[in-house]
Amino acid sequence: MSIRIALAGNPNCGKTTLFNALTGSNQFVGNWPGVTVEKKEGKLKKHSDVTITDLPGIYSLSPYTLEEVVARNYLINERPDAILNIVDGTNLERNLYLTTQVTELGIPVVVAVNMMDIVKKNGDQINISELSRRLGCKVVDISALKGDGITEAAEEAIKAAKNGKTIPQHTFSGPVEHAIAHIEEAILHDMPEEQQRWYAIKIFERDDKVLEKLNIPADKMTHIENDIKAAEKELDDDSESIITNERYIYIAEVIKSCYKKKNVGSKSTSDKIDKIVTNRFLGLPIFALVMFLVYWIAMVAVGTPATDWVNDNLFGDGFHLFGKDGGYEEIAERYGEASAIVDGYDAYVEENGVAPEGDFIYTIEDEETLEVSEITATKEEYAEAVKTLEEIGEEPDPADYGTWVPSIPALVEKGLDSAHAAGWLKGLILDGIVAGVGAVLGFVPQMLVLFLLLAFLEACGYMSRIAFILDRIFRKFGLSGKSFIPMLVGVGCGVPGIMASRTIENERDRRMTIMTTTFIPCGAKLPFIAMIAGALFSGSAWVSTSAYFIGMAAIVISGIMLKKTKMFAGDPAPFVMELPAYHMPTLGNVLRSMWERGWSFIKKAGTIILLSTIVVWFTSRFGFVEGSFRMLEEEELKFSILAKIGNAIAWVFAPLGWGNWQATVASFTGLVAKENIVGTMGILYGGGDLTTWQALAAAFTGVTGFSFLVFNLLCAPCFAAIGAIKREMNNAKWTWFAILYQCGFAYAVALMITQFGNAFTGKADAIGLAFAVAVLGAIIYMLFIKGYKEANKLEKVGAFR
């Protein structure tokens, strides 16, 4: 017999951690029917016949949010065999509110009191057996984070599913019970007995969705309405508030008999930490410092050496196993310097027709910066250089010094040569697929480090505090703190970030959040950020960190400006969010989160980016020359199909300082997937004698490179995210408005960076600077003008309906 167990609990109670621990890799993710809320199901480990469904985190079964509706519909309509209700032991009173509701459903319930390790650490005590007696169901204590008791909880849920129903132990006051009994007798007597009480309570609360579902005849509704009004009159409150109050009275009695707190009134460790990190004045600087450290560690301290190793060795020249080169580096350096001196001597002779009588000049080019240094050499040094070359002989081969591991491109090229592959096929594979996909995969180490650090911040509870801190700031600019949640999710990927906006009840705020969420750099943009930072700014951490804060600034500025318009005017929605206790996350959970994000990126590189690089290579390497269509030489790429397309639209980006066809095409391929920008640049800038980074350093200045970076961070996201925008907006005109606003705003910011940056470095363009000043003036004007006068009277946005 197959058994279905539903996991129900408040947000941040450890429900997802428990779900991951119980199911492991046996998970499958989709969407609930008809809505974009994620549906997670999985098979219980060692029980192929037990399916566990992870319901959205909810505080109650009231139909106020989409999550609550989804969870409630599943429990009522699907009626799983058992409910495993996860309760946060450190916040027992609030969590038991949901418990009082799920025990009324007539479905077997097992309560798992989570975070018992923290409860014991605080010196508090929970009497599990007494709590079980009071609730009328089995209660087990667990620590989902450490894996303690989770197997027992699952086994108890299976037992409960096989054995039968849960009978709620709590009752309400006399007037309420009298009304509920009348409702059951008048309307619900034909319904299964175990379901009657829950429906009766919901009818008493005048729950719209239940009343609509039952379609109660008017005469019967009038009869029970009299009973409800009688209870309201006697208890001097509305029916819904009466039930809420009665539940909390019951919960208070349960807490009094089961829960003993050691230090009543004293501050917990989390409270002490929050006094600092959520401080009105220190909160934001601490957040900025934390994010700088995260990006510095990921992009400079740990990530960059790893990425450099991958780019230089795995996708570069190759490497010596275990770093043992048998003296190759020393010999290669001697050979290189001696060759440069001899070449300088020969160049002098060729230019002047005679040997130098005294000193002469030779040049050495730095491989990373492309800087050429002129060095003076003596005739004695020339003689020594000749001896060195005679001693070493041919240019040293690294394979002759230690165990040499060839790079991926070298291995692929060797295989192609052995197969006598055609020139075009060799070019496609080496210069297209390997160069493009390899340029993207080279940044995987940096991304994994960043994902690891972000997963740690999320798991330990700090990111929830950021939402709280930013709510104060966002609210001043017309945005709700709820808008930060999609942005936080969007750090991993813009698609779930956009979908997370559905939790915002206010339609205006929701649409504005959808439009601005992708300003925050997502995981797909990180390789691009790393490439520009590495090629143009020596891998500086401030470039990577600034990308994050430029995204946040764009959101704030957009929020202020859009709130001044009729379409978005109005007060932001209130923000309530759970702040979980700080805790040290388990290594397994953090590594799982890092791997899931990283593997998703790698899979995308193997599919979407692979196809894109093939298209980019073909269109950039073929074209019409002198009336014939053929594969082009390196110096003929300006005649390629891609160059023709790029040049036709490159003029649009000329005011931004990078109006060449390569950069233009890279920006457009970024619409397929933002990682594509790196792959495209790896193909278009990676040919010839220069590496991709060298070619980028030659093609961009610091100012234009940063302008290119910011434009692609802020402009329209990838096609997948645009699709999510269309689904969430549910309106084509609103979707186009969002895309045009994102591109327009990105263009304006990039224009100001280029023109003001060039003016600062003494390369000012009068016309471009005038336009940049006008754009800045327009933004300042929008920031400080008064908003729409009737803002607070607007209930719906109908500008595009």
Residues flagged as binding site = 9-16, 20-21, 23-24, 34-38, 54-57, 114-117
Closest Cα to residue 91, out of 149, 163, 154, 13?
13
**Cα 690 versus chain centre, distance:** 34
What is the torsional sign of CA 546, 552, 558, 561?
Answer: negative
Q: CA 231 to CA 691: how far, in whole Å? A: 80
Which residue shows structure tokens 């239940």?
Answer: 210
Which residue bears the tokens 């005048």?
206
- Residue 547 contacts by C-beta under 8 Å, 6 or more apart in sequence? 521, 525, 529, 709, 710, 713
Judging by beta carbons within 10 Å of its beta carbon (0-12, 13-18, 19+), is residue 652 exposed, middle or buried? exposed
Residues making up the binding site for Mg(2+): 20-21, 23-24
Ordered DSSP codes for 289-307: HHHHHHHHIIIIISHHHHH
Show the tokens assigned to 36.
């974009």
Provide the token pair at 767. 């016309």
Residue type, 754: T
Residues in the annotated binding site for GTP: 9-16, 34-38, 54-57, 114-117
Q: Write the CB contacts of 734 (distance below 8 Å, at least 6 apart in sequence).
A: 511, 800
- Angle ∠(779,783,786) on CA atoms, nearest 5: 130
Question: Which amino acid is residue 667, in one-letter code?
Answer: S
Which of 449, 328, 462, 346 lies closest to 395, judged by CA? 328
Q: Look up tokens 């205006």; give the residue.
A: 508
Residues present in the chain in total: 801
CA 148 to chain centre: 30
DSSP string of 729-787, one letter each residue: H--HHHHHHHHHHHHHHHHHHHHHHHHHHHHHTT---HHHHHHHHHHHHHHHHHHHS--
Closest by CA to 497, choosing from 479, 484, 481, is 484
Query: Cα separation of 49 and 524, whole Å?
Result: 38
Q: Give the DSSP H or E segment for 47.
A: strand 47-54
Looking at residue 740, its amino acid is L
Distance CA 528, CA 666 (A): 11
Sign of CA dihedral 164, 165, 166, 167: negative
For every residue of 594-606, DSSP letters joined together read: HHHHHHHHHHHHH
Q: Which residues pair with 38 in a beta bridge?
A: 31
Q: Which residue has the tokens 């002047």?
A: 352
**HSE-up of residue 580 (Cα within 13 Å, Cβ side):** 24
Cβ contact 683:702 at 8 Å: no
Neighbours of 143 (CB within 10 A): 23
Q: Residue 699 corresponds to which tokens in the numbers above?
A: 């093609």
Backbone φ/ψ region at 393: left (φ over 0), alpha (ψ -120 to 50), beta? left
**Dihedral angle of Cα 27, 30, 36, 37, to the nearest 10 degrees:** -20
Question: Which residue's structure tokens are 């040293």?
Answer: 396
Query: Within its chain, how far is the Cα of 33 from the centroid?
Result: 24
The pair phi, psi for residue 522, each rounded to 5°, is: -90, 175
Q: What count of Cα atoms within 13 Å lies in the side-chain half-sphere of residue 168?
A: 24
Contacts of 771 (CB under 8 A, 6+ apart): 655, 751, 755
Q: Which residues on adjacent β-strands are paired with residue 31?
A: 38
- Residue 388's φ and ψ, nearest 5 degrees, are -60, -45
